[in-house]
Amino acid sequence: MSASLIQTNDLDSQTIEAIFEDASQYLDGKFYDDLKHKLIITLFFENSTRTKSSFEIAAKRLGASVVHLDVAKSSTKKGETLFDTAANLDAMGPDAIIVRHATSGVPKNITDFAQCSIVNAGDGNHAHPTQALLDLFTIRKHFSGNIQGKKIAIVGDIKNSRVASSNMELLARFGLEVILVAPEVFMPQTSLRSCDDIREVIDELDIIMSLRTQTERHDGSVIISTEDYAKKYCITKELMGDRDILLLHPGPVHRNIDISDEMLLDPRAKVLEQVTNGVAVRMAVLKHLILANG
């Protein structure tokens, strides 16, 4: 059975420490040959800018060959089932298939049809494990490893966000206090501390993770105007004041709805550093999964 990564708790904390150690080294920007003669396929059924290119760059920086299946031109458009598509790709002998799909559970189900490692690059609102890993990595780096008891507010459309759901598990496991901040329509059922106004908690916070409104997953029942939402939840300079708070966002950012233009330029915003760290963390994840297969 190949090692797959479907959700954050597929990796124990010790393994995550080892992955972060490798990732720290890969921040040097160099090319390595750990995955020379390995073959990786990217299979994205949903749009992506960062995650797809980040995985492809990570694979190439480790010397792997990468094939991207253009789903729009594939036989899934001729009526082939998704699982037949995966089984056929697997029959070509890749070491890993990296999958993104709009439906929760698809990457996990593909593991039944494939011999190679399956890496979840985001499924519905279920999980986005490598995003949470790169977020935790960025937080640890910023606080030089001292993250026990740090307070993070996850702000926005938490209910529909796979980034939020993976981070809730991972950040809590590594000792952070997670506070959910969202209007009622975007709040999941939770036992975590939660509130609908960031101003109530901002003085306590060490980190804010702002999220995009996941309009593609709304069924028409969400009635909140962008303007009203932004008034209350947009992270602005005025809201942040001179507080020493690390500001994160997984992208894509809705400017002036999630975070203001001005705040994106502020040194407290580490959105692009997350992207840089993402390549190094994905290099370490791919190496771990593929070489664990022997």
Catalytic residues: 50-51, 78, 100, 128
Footprint of ligand NCD on residues 193-222 (CB under 6 A)?
A: 212
50 touches ligand NCD by CB under 6 A: yes
119 touches ligand NCD by CB under 6 A: no
Min dist. Cβ of residue 50 to ligand NCD (A): 5
Q: For residue 227, with 0-12 CB atoms within 10 Å meaning exposed, 13-18 middle and 19 or more buried, which class applies?
A: exposed
Q: Which is nearer to ligand NCD, 166 or 260 (CB)?
A: 166
DSSP state at residue 176: P
Count of residues engaged in binding ligand NCD, rule: CB under 6 A: 10
Q: Which is nearer to ligand NCD, 117 or 167 (CB)?
A: 167
What b/e string do you get for 133-142 counting C-beta neighbours within 10 Å, with b at 16 or more? Answer: bbbbbbbbbb
CA dist 294 and 276 (Å) reads 28
CA dist 264 and 234 (Å) reads 11
Angle between helices 271-292 and 129-142 (to 10 degrees): 120
Q: Which is nearer to ligand NCD, 85 or 214 (CB)?
A: 214
128 touches ligand NCD by CB under 6 A: yes
51 touches ligand NCD by CB under 6 A: yes
Which residues lie near ligand NCD (CB under 6 A)? 50-51, 122, 128, 131, 162-163, 212, 250-251
